[in-house]
Amino acid sequence: MQVLVKVNENDWPSVRDAAQYAQTYSVAVGGLPYILRRDLETITIHDGVEAFGGGNRDILIHTAYAE
């Protein structure tokens, strides 16, 4: 199963910072039970204090809300 991780590059000062968030949340999502991620195609990561979301085979993560 391959999942594409999309990170809003405008939210972080460097590609390295964005990649760190991608790695962190990829591991977290990978730990979810299979039934919750079996149809997952993308993970979208933004900075900000907004609720998590999902649907359309995507999980939407806002990092400031997660912390």
Q: What is the mean pLDDT of residues 32-58?
A: 94
Q: What is the pLDDT of residue 9?
A: 85
Mean per-residue pLDDT over the chain, rounded = 93
Q: What is the mean pLDDT of residues 23-39?
A: 94
DSSP string, 1-67: ---EEEE-GGGSSSHHHHHHHHHHHHHHHHTS-HHHHTT--EEEEE-SS---EEETTEEEEEHHHH-
Q: What is the pLDDT of residue 11?
A: 93
Greater confidence (10 vs 1) lies with 10
